[in-house]
Amino acid sequence: MNNTVTREEVDGEINKIDLIQLITIAFHYFCRYWWVLIICLLLGIVSTVGYNRVTYNPMYRATATFTVATDDDHYGSLYSYYYSQNTADQLSNTFPYFLNSRYFKNALLEKMDRPSMNGTLKSSTLWDSNVVTMTMDSPSAQDALDYLQTAIDIYPKAAKFVLGNIKFSMIESPSLPTAPYNTLSLKRQIVYGGFLGAVLAALIYIVLGLTNRKVISSETLDKYTNMNCLAHMPFIKQKVRTRKTKTSILVDNNRTLRSYRDSIGTLKMRIMRVMRKDDAKALLITSTKPKEGKTTTAVNLAISLAKEGNKVILFDADLKKSNCAKALGIELQAGMRNLHNGGTEFSRLLTPTGRDNLWIVGNNSEMDFPAMALSSKDMKEWFEKAREEVDYIVIDAPACTMYQNALLMTEYADEVLYIIQYNQLTYKEIQKGLGVIDNGNAKLLGYAFNQSPEHISGYGYGKYGYGYSKYGSYGYGKYGYGKYGRYGKYGYGKYGSYAKKE
């Protein structure tokens, strides 16, 4: 059976619209561009209030309620339902129709000596009775009363040929309205405008989600790049105060999100397994573009490896910024100049991190030609010595499409971990970065999906995650370390190779 996936199939999957993913990416855009919702709400409220103010036309309503009696009933009582059922039925069907007829309107205008109606005349009958309510709506309170009163006066005579001899007995006489019946409610306008604004914002987020071509699915990315996702790094939202002080996200800090620490643990476990199998020591970590989380991942992976009792060197290959030292909150005691000025003595470049088994190497001064330093003979000899002294070397290299440092460092690395940030780059941009790494000498181990929503299926912390989920492939769930997990078979599950002998 041929299981090869064609590029056309992958492209079709990329363009496929998944409702859950659409909602997820729309929510992502909401979190990122929350101010769009605020603007839309304000726009909706201001537009609604402004439109209503400009188009507002106060309307006054005059109302009269009365009974209609025929010649056979001279009382016109409210309780005259019994007097003539046929009259009640005829009123219900005929009274409103005749009131709105051209004949009656002409008679009313002639009586009022007006060229046109300044409003709307309506009537309704109480079902199965002779009770009629007549209303007149007009922009003028006086016109509302005058038209209604005149209509009541001329209706019996005008409708004689239809209803016969009738008369009205007033229950509620018409009076001059004192206030418009359509008074604007500011609260209602704000609610309605806010609703329209929210709908507009939702449409914007959905359109952004539909037109999004950035990486949001690890399953599709696996097929597109032929790489394995080693771990999902959950999105961590830092507090405003934390962002101002630029506090680093570190796994040995108990205040760091538990799911993030678990993700680093899963990543460490998989990397150690493969590197031990390949007899590898040096791991290069890079990404397509800056700010995808590679330095944070490199620092925490080094800390996690050191906590296992391994001797670890964290090598910062960015000779301009030295972000690894900043993340650890330390200052470098030596730099690359020490290497070239003082020979290849191994310990000259090491700076203790204040953590057991972990040292850092970086640059503490500007260099005119950093690429030459990284590709020098001294650097090669230093890495050969480092391999003899420590268990792991974690190399944090700048973005591979921006600088040549990453490609140069593949000369010293055995494996490469590629960092891909959720909803940051397109598939083609990632493919371009992977093409750079393919030109190097190191083996591409896989990738870590950074800032991934925890509930996305596949490798996250959701139903099918790598973590502690029900079907986590590499977690502690039902199919993780359990009975049939990938590590269950050969690990600590019921039928694992290391299962306790009963």
Same domain, yes or no, for 476 and 358? yes
Q: Is the pLDDT of residue 467 over 50?
A: no
Of the given ranges (339-343, 356-360, 408-412, 444-448), which has the lowest mean pLDDT? 339-343
Do the Cβ atoms of 332 and 325 come closer than 8 Å? yes
Could you say which of 172, 201, 228 is where a domain stops? 172
Q: What percentage of the chain exceeds 70 in pLDDT? A: 79
CATH number for the domain including 156? 3.30.70.1130
CATH number for the domain including 409? 3.40.50.300
Same domain, yes or no, for 203 and 168? no
Is 489 part of any domain?
Answer: no
* Range of 27-31, 269-273, 331-335 with top mean pLDDT: 269-273
Q: What is the pLDDT of residue 166?
A: 81
More confident: 462 or 41: 41
Q: Which residue has the tokens 């991942």?
A: 297
Same domain, yes or no, for 69 and 46? no
- pTM for the structure as a whole: 0.62
Question: For residue 85, what pLDDT band results from cuts at 50, 70 and 90?
Answer: low
Same domain, yes or no, for 408 and 423? yes
Cα separation, 247 vs 256, in Å, equals 11
* Mean pLDDT value of segment 116-134: 87
Is 394 part of any domain?
Answer: yes
Q: Is the pLDDT of residue 173 over 80?
A: yes
- Token pair belonging to 187: 């609260």
Do the Cβ atoms of 442 and 449 come closer than 8 Å? no
Q: Is the pLDDT of residue 465 over 60?
A: no
Is 7 part of any domain?
Answer: no
Structure confidence by residue, pLDDT tens digits, 38-80: 999 999 999 999 999 999 999 999 999 998 887 654 444 444 4
Q: What is the pLDDT of residue 466?
A: 37
Q: What is the pLDDT of residue 453?
A: 72
List the domain range (segments joined by +) for residue 455: 218-480
More confident: 400 or 462: 400
Is 261 part of any domain?
Answer: yes
Average pLDDT, the chain: 80
Q: Is the pLDDT of residue 196 over 90?
A: yes
Of the given ranges (94-103, 233-242, 301-310, 388-397), which has the lowest mean pLDDT? 233-242
Is 315 part of any domain?
Answer: yes
Q: What is the pLDDT of residue 101?
A: 87
Q: What is the pLDDT of residue 462?
A: 37
Q: Is the pLDDT of residue 482 over 60?
A: no
Could you say which of 115, 145, 172 is where a domain stops? 172
Q: What is the pLDDT of residue 138?
A: 94
* Mean pLDDT value of segment 105-115: 91
Same domain, yes or no, for 341 and 414? yes
Structure confidence by residue, pLDDT tens digits, 283-298: 999 999 999 999 999 9
Q: Which residues pair with 61 in a beta bridge?
A: 137
Cα separation, 436 vs 415, in Å, equals 14
Q: What is the pLDDT of residue 476?
A: 38
Q: What is the pLDDT of residue 491?
A: 39
Same domain, yes or no, for 302 and 364? yes
- Report the amino acid identity of residue 223: K
Same domain, yes or no, for 133 and 203? no
Q: Is the pLDDT of residue 132 over 70?
A: yes
Same domain, yes or no, for 363 and 283? yes
Q: Is the pLDDT of residue 411 over 90?
A: yes
Q: What is the pLDDT of residue 341?
A: 59
**413 phi and psi angles, rounded to 5 deg:** -95, 150
Q: Is the pLDDT of residue 140 over 90?
A: yes
DSSP of 220-254: HHHHHH---EEEEEE-----HHHHHHT----TTST
Same domain, yes or no, for 276 and 399? yes
Q: Is the pLDDT of residue 4 over 60?
A: no
Is 399 part of any domain?
Answer: yes
Using DSSP bridges, classify how beta strands 312-316 and 282-287 pair: parallel, antiparallel or unpaired: unpaired
In order of 140, 365, 419, the CA distances from 464 in angstroms are: 69, 47, 21
Same domain, yes or no, for 141 and 167? yes
Q: Is the pLDDT of residue 174 over 70?
A: yes
Closest to 298 measured CA to CA, from 230, 383, 394, 233: 394
Q: What percentage of the chain exceeds 90 in pLDDT? A: 46
**Total number of domains constituting the chain:** 3
Same domain, yes or no, for 123 and 190? no
* Mean pLDDT value of segment 460-472: 37
Is 494 part of any domain?
Answer: no
Cα separation, 265 vs 286, in Å, equals 19
Is 113 part of any domain?
Answer: yes
Alpha-carbon 36 to chain mean position: 12
Same domain, yes or no, for 418 and 313? yes
